[in-house]
Amino acid sequence: MASPSTTADAAIPEKKGADDNYLTHDKGFASWAFTLDHKRIGVMYLASVLSAFALGGFFALAVRTELWSPGKTIMEHDTYNQMFTLHGAIMVFLVIIPGIPAALGNIILPLHLGAKDVAFPKLNLASYYLWIIGCICMLASLAINAVDTGWTFYAPYSTTTQTAVIPAAFGAFILGFSSIFTGLNFIVTIHKLRPPGMTFFRMPLFVWALYSTALIQVLATPVIGITLLMMMVERVFGLGIFDPALGGDPVLFQHFFWFYSHPAVYIMIVPAFGVVSEIIPVFSRKRLFGYQFIAISSLAIAFLGFLVWGHHMFTSGQSVLAGTIFSAITFLIAIPTAIKIFNWVSTMYKGRIHLDTPMLYALAFLWVFTIGGLTGVFLAVMGVDIHLHDTYFVVAHFHYVMMGGAITAFLGGLHYWFPKAFGKMYDERTGRIGAVIVFIGLNLTFFPQFILGSRGMPRRYYNYLPEFQGLHQLSTIGAFTLGMGFLLTAISLGRALKHGKKAPNNPWGGVTLEWTTVSPPPYYNFHTPPPVTAGPYDGYEDLVYDEKIGGYVSKKA
């Protein structure tokens, strides 16, 4: 099946045998460090992002441990401020934003398109190294005197505090360029490298999601870039644009910041929608319901996402009229989001549901994202927001969306594509146990925070009233449960890399193009460019499970 015999296969060097794949194609450090292969760059992203996730998770546990009891538990209040700032900045800029698009997207997008690579392989590698530089800058801030502004870098505190704001902000600035270049690369790839026969409405939904995400990355990220640059220059030269003491306007900073950072929320969650759209039909053995609606709703979310930044500023003194408009548009976002949820549920209806690990994560996603999304609608109501603004209710809401939504889908996608990317099967039982522990830990950590917030516990506080202690302790127990779940999953996947069974080409019975090539894919992805004659979710009935290889094969073959 993988023998290089046709003329199209001439691209594969003769000396390498049928077993040649992108992991074994070249050896040595330089072959990875200077690779232009999208799969290798994706794998490097994956390793880096997961390391950053471990670091951000460590800070989260430090924060939760400190909150075990009122007053000092393990650290001083200044250290606490630094801990939650680093947790937020690392998780947002280093983990969630590049997580699905840059790590999973890099590995999967060209495979989904039947292409040999992304449009600009050198730019792709440059994006990765920009990520590394940004990461080093963030860590430099940690080493010097960790930033304590919160991940939002609000002026004028950020322009006056004694901590090392500049390295952290410069890191975020550089990471922004990494994100822009990845987005740009993906848009061009999707427009110009689709195979003959693949129209826009024959693209898998993960590709649609990456496309919508890339549009936001390209259109919103430059604004945070210039904002952070202005903030840094203000800090050094006393520019006077944001600091009221110099005649500046701090609300202008908030407008600039949220003009990027609200769309950035969709940079984090829209790719997760894409992953879930891939997993659900495969494990329901059923054609995806409402394909076009899901595809267009991603674009609708991307578009509306640009018009709602003011809902972060209901209490910042903007006019009631502006607040009302922002509030109304925020409600609108619930529509495309609900369209997706209903379509996924409809896909499962009367399907033959297989509860494999990726599907467990997808189901967990549906549960937690629905909670996270609906509480977002609560917060979009101005009157309610005045009560809940800057409380743990907001913290719980965005953790249900970011952690429960984006990270759960990321893990689901990781388990779904792991056999394809690395050619090894993980232990299914451990994977399922990990998924369940993560789901329990997640709800245990963040559900009590809804109650805390609605009772008035403000976010980012070091100390609290004794009456909140029970719920805080529940949340801390949840955080450690979550940590155990991640640790178990990490060990399981790590073991699979070394000792896993060889993965079949199509372990789950997927019908998108990546499952038509070998696992792991050869250097050029496809020995012959795959023909596209049908939609991305047609043809489950043509596949049959083969016990011998532990995967699905075509009935015709």
Contact between 230 and another protein per CB under 8 A: yes
Q: For the CB of residue 413, give the shortest distance to another protein in the complex, in Å.
A: 24
CB 525 within 8 A of CB 115: yes
Contact between 34 and another protein per CB under 8 A: yes
Q: For the CB of residue 115, give the shortest distance to another protein in the complex, in Å.
A: 7
Cα–Cα nearest to 112, from 255, 270, 274: 274
Q: For the CB of residue 159, give the shortest distance to another protein in the complex, in Å.
A: 11
Token code pair at residue 59: 């800070």
Cα–Cα nearest to 19, from 541, 368, 523, 395: 523
User: 553: which strand partners?
Assistant: 544
Q: How far apart are CA 130 and CA 448, in angstroms?
A: 38
Q: For the CB of residue 171, give the shortest distance to another protein in the complex, in Å.
A: 18
Contact between 18 and another protein per CB under 8 A: no
Q: What character string, x for contact with another protein (CB under 8 A) and - otherwise, covers 241-270? A: x----xxxx--x---x--------------
Residues 115, 268, 363, 406: which binds another protein (CB under 8 A)? 115
Q: Which is nearer to another protein, 241 or 268 (CB)?
A: 241
Q: Which is nearer to another protein, 83 or 220 (CB)?
A: 220
Contact between 35 and another protein per CB under 8 A: yes
Q: For the CB of residue 233, give the shortest distance to another protein in the complex, in Å.
A: 6
Place of tokens 């939504």: 405
Contact between 23 and another protein per CB under 8 A: no
| Other C-beta atoms lying within 10 Å of the C-beta of residue 540 | 18
Q: How far apart are CA 211 and CA 52, in angstroms?
A: 25
Q: Which is nearer to another protein, 139 or 190 (CB)?
A: 190
Please say whether the dihedral angle defined by the alpha carbons of residues 202, 520, 53 and 44, taken in this order, is positive or negative: negative
Cα–Cα nearest to 415, from 283, 521, 537: 283
CB 477 within 8 A of CB 448: no
Element (DSSP H or E) covering residue 551: strand 551-554
Side chain identity, residue 230: M
Token code pair at residue 312: 């972060």
Contact between 37 and another protein per CB under 8 A: yes
Contact between 458 and another protein per CB under 8 A: no
Place of tokens 């146990």: 433
Contact between 494 and another protein per CB under 8 A: no
Residues 7, 162, 199, 319: which binds another protein (CB under 8 A)? 7
Region of 47-55, 224-232, 291-299, 399-407 interacting with another protein (CB under 8 A): 224-232
Q: How many residues does the chain have?
A: 557
Q: How far apart are CA 149 and CA 79, in angstroms?
A: 12
> Which residues in the 182-211 window bind another protein by CB under 8 A?
184-185, 187-188, 191-193
> Which residues in the 120-149 window bind another protein by CB under 8 A?
120-123
Contact between 427 and another protein per CB under 8 A: no
Q: Which is nearer to another protein, 115 or 362 (CB)?
A: 115
Region of 98-106, 215-223, 313-321, 365-373 interacting with another protein (CB under 8 A): 215-223
First-residue to last-residue Cα distance in the chain: 11
Q: For the CB of residue 177, give the shortest distance to another protein in the complex, in Å.
A: 9
- Site size toward another protein (CB under 8 A) is 49
CB 445 within 8 A of CB 475: yes
Contact between 218 and another protein per CB under 8 A: yes
Q: For the CB of residue 248, give the shortest distance to another protein in the complex, in Å.
A: 7
Q: For the CB of residue 371, give the shortest distance to another protein in the complex, in Å.
A: 34
Token code pair at residue 389: 């603004």
Q: How far apart are CA 465 and CA 277, in angstroms?
A: 43
Contact between 4 and another protein per CB under 8 A: no
Q: 133: helix, coil or strand?
A: helix
Residues in Cβ contact with 162 at an 8 Å cutoff, skipping those fewer than 6 apart: 145
Contact between 322 and another protein per CB under 8 A: no
Please say whether the dihedral angle defined by the alpha carbons of residues 276, 188, 180 and 118, taken in this order, is positive or negative: positive
Q: What character string, x for contact with another protein (CB under 8 A) and - otherwise, covers 164-183? A: ----------------x---
Binding site for another protein (CB under 8 A): 7, 10-13, 34-37, 115-117, 119-123, 180, 184-185, 187-188, 191-193, 218-223, 225-227, 229-230, 233-234, 237-241, 246-249, 252, 256
